[in-house]
Structures are given as C-alpha cells and as structure tokens.
C-alpha cells in the first residue's frame, strides 16, 4: 500500500520517508535580507514573508531579524555576515531584478543567485531565494506576495527537516 504525503508524493512500499512539519516556526530565529532597489516591491515582499512567518507562530519580536541592503548584489554578503554572526536558523533573501535594455539584468540575476547559494552551502543554513527576476514591474507585482510567503514556508520546513535529520 502506498501512503500519500502532502497529496503529491507517494511512498513506495517499505520505504521510510522523512518529512518535516511545515507550519511551525515556534522557537526559530529567521533572518530576512531585503533589497531596497525597487522599494515598494521589497517592502511588500517583506510584509508578506513576515505575515506568513507570524501565521506559523514565529515570535516576531525575538525571532525575526531584518537587514536592508541597497540592491540584489549586496544581498549575499549581508546574508553571509548574518549566517556567521547573527545566530539565525534560516535566512530569506528578498528583492527584485527587473529586466532593462542591457545585459546588466543577467549579471545581477545570475550573480545574486550564485551568491545566495554559496552562503547556504558554506554555512549549512536553509536559505530561500526570493529575489524575483522578471521582465517587468507588472510581473514583479503579480508574483511578489506569493513568492515571499513561499520563501517563509520553505525556510521553516527546511529548518524543521534539518533538525529532524540531526536527531535521526
């Protein structure tokens, strides 16, 4: 018999699956690094991620640290410093890179993403990349709240999963 997990994944007979609680952020300390380059989008993403974490019982007074940086390229170094010294369990990167008329979009999109991944692997800390890379402001507005909330859920699930694996 096959068990259904999260209505999408099936477990083959005899296989143990390890999954984490996805909706409990109590006791976690989450860092958010947000770019102010497109300030209305960054602010809306910050509010959406914070609201989602609060729904998952994160103590926003003691469990949330927010750092504002100039742009997407500055997010990785702020995350690196946060991971090294701020005693956080996970970090969310938030911002938007909107395509312009030059190759600069590709540079910023690719390098910010690469930097985020490097920090995650170097510090063995869950990081959700919520840096939107879009063709227009309209695309950013239509995706920002969902993406930010999804990032909040992702870091909570990954923190809980890593804790569970450490005990296994």
- Active-site residue list: 104
Q: How far apart are CA 18 and CA 38, in angstroms?
A: 39
Spatial distance between the Cα atoms of 115 and 75, rounded to a whole number of angstroms: 8
d(CA 61, CA 50): 11
Between CA 162 and CA 151 the distance in angstroms is 16
Which candidate, 45, 117, 52, 122, places its Cα nearest to that of 83? 122
């Amino acid at each position: 018999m096959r068990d259904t997990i999260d209505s999408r994944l099936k477990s083959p007979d005899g296989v143990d699956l390890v999954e984490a609680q996805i909706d409990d952020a109590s006791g976690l300390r989450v860092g958010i690094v947000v770019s102010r380059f497109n300030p209305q989008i960054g602010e809306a993403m910050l509010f959406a991620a914070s609201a989602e974490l609060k729904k998952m019982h994160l103590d926003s007074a003691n469990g949330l640290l927010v750092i504002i940086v100039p742009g997407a390229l500055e997010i990785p170094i702020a995350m690196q410093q946060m991971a090294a010294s701020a005693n956080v369990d996970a970090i969310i990167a938030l911002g938007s890179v909107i395509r312009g008329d030059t190759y600069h979009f590709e540079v910023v999109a690719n390098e910010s993403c690469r930097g985020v991944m490097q920090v995650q692997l170097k510090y063995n800390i869950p990081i959700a990349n919520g840096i939107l890379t879009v063709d227009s402001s309209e695309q950013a507005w239509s995706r920002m709240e969902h993406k930010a909330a999804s990032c909040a859920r992702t870091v909570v699930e990954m923190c809980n999963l890593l804790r569970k694996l450490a005990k296994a």
